[in-house]
Homo-oligomer: A and B are copies of this chain.
Amino acid sequence: MSETTHQLFREQTTGKKKRERTRSALLDSAISVFASKGFEATRIIDITNHAELANGTFYNYYQDKDELLRDVAVGLAVEITGRINAEMDGLSHGPTRVALATARLLRIARHEPEWLNVLLEGIFIVPELQSAIVQYLRQDLEIGIEQGHFTVTVNLLLINQILALIRAALLLDPEMSDATVRQTCEGVLRLLGTTPRRATKLVTSVFERHLSGET
């Protein structure tokens, strides 16, 4: 095993039966390896090595890489949307919700650089995940539209454009500097029809009110 980061799944299963603990080890290792080599280039043995298991052990749990990716991506989606939701409680202003959700997502990527990477790969390979994310995003967009703040019709292309901006940020600056986070949030708002001036103001206020006490 190399340097240990997250342990997302391990944490959820300490104390549980061995079967669950080993499965978690595979899931956590898969995140690391998928993120560093990419899903396609990953070999089963890369994952089992990372988890300090024999290659044969993999087949006690999954048929193939795809099955594992599904589990990983769904787990990440649950964790990440859970965290973001927790922060958005009570916010009713559409644009603020969108800006905050975007910023929070990217901030999570700063601390757990591997997660977003793998989640985004998963979105395009695991169909069920795609539709879950779409629904999730759509909600906040509708709120902003009802309030007259967004000039846009919600369709699949729009959702993908937003995801594409997030992906671009991750690709170009995996460290996820504040500058990158801000530019991405503003980009998303602009795409939705917010004027540049308002977008800048909004993002600044979101940073001050909701994201000041963080690394």
Which single member of B155, B156, B190 contacts A190 (CB below 8 Å)?
Answer: B190
A161 shortest CB reach to chain B, Å: 5
Cβ of A89 within 8 Å of any chain B Cβ, yes or no, is no
Within 8 A of B (CB), among A152-170: 152, 155-158, 160-161, 163-165, 167-169
Chain A interface residue count: which class? 20 to 34
Nearest 5 A/B pairs, CB to CB: A164-B164, A164-B168, A40-B40, A160-B168, A151-B196
Q: Mark A163-199, 1 if CB is under 8 A from B, else 0.
A: 1110111011100000010011001001101011000
Contact residues in B for A191 (Cβ distance below 8 Å): 187, 190-191
Cβ–Cβ contact A157 & B168, under 8 A: yes
For the complex, give the distance between the alpha carbons of A68 and B52 in Å. Answer: 37
Identify the closest chain B residue to A179 (Cβ). Answer: B157
A188 shortest CB reach to chain B, Å: 9
